Amino acid sequence: MLSTAVGDGLLRANPCTISSAGTPRRGVGRSRPVTDRLLSPAQVSAAAAAMPPRYRGLVLMAAWSGLRQGELLALTRADLDLAASPARVRVRKAVRRADTGQVRVDVPKTPSSVRTVTLPDPLTEATALLFATGTGTTPARSNLGATWRRACATAGVPQVRFHDLRHVAQVFAAEAGATLPELMARLGHVTPAAALVYLHARTDRDTQLTQALATAMTIGGDVLSESDEEPPATG
């Protein structure tokens, strides 16, 4: 409203503007860098296998769809379209915890969070999309977190947060060739800055990129033939 007033010439400046607001900042010293918390595909599979059977699909969905934990826990079978090619999941709801501690299903975090996300083929066989406790209730985040930590320990993979699986989804989607707008659509972000928080350089990618460059340089013959060599200096 105040920005509109500035545009209409009613105010000289917006008094509610906060410098650097909306710019993601990395916490210093509070946790390990995200690049150290990215599980490999093999580690994701191992951790999923170590989870109770009813939660294995949840782990795989978190790592390969990029949905938020609250969005995943609100899914029902009706949200999944297996007949589509590729299969897709519709995000329309999210689980939230009120200040009273009560868990309820509500609208997603932002309007852009209402979206449809396509799924890799292996997920259609591994996901039941009904992530509930043994008694049929919505899992509490604390209990799910404890179950996830035990699974990581059993699988022998790094102890990362369940939320870090969202980073896994974004990084591998980017490496598969997704553009920034496509990544924003998959994760339900409003701004590029929010999406960029989830983009990180994996430590082993530099070697892979260097090898790809070497291959590109040598296609069609030697990188530097005799005719391409610099002439000897004269004078």
Q: Is 198 a catalytic residue?
A: yes
Q: Is 189 a catalytic residue?
A: yes
Per annotation, catalytic residue among 92, 115, 167, 189:
189
Q: Is 149 a catalytic residue?
A: no
The radius of gyration computed from the CA coordinates of the chain, to the nearest angstrom, equals: 23
Per annotation, catalytic residue among 166, 167, 186, 200:
166
Q: Is 25 a catalytic residue?
A: no
Distance CA 148, CA 94 (A): 20
Per annotation, catalytic residue among 55, 115, 167, 198:
198
Distance CA 42, CA 181 (A): 28
Distance CA 69, CA 55 (A): 12
Q: Is 163 a catalytic residue?
A: yes
* DSSP line for 51-110: S-HHHHHHHHHHHHH---HHHHHT--GGGEESSSSS-EEEE--EEEE-TTS-EEEE--SS
Do 132 and 95 touch, CB atoms closer than 8 A? no
Per annotation, catalytic residue among 68, 167, 186, 200:
68
The rounded Cα 22 to chain-centroid distance in angstroms is 19
Active site residues: 68, 163, 166, 189, 198
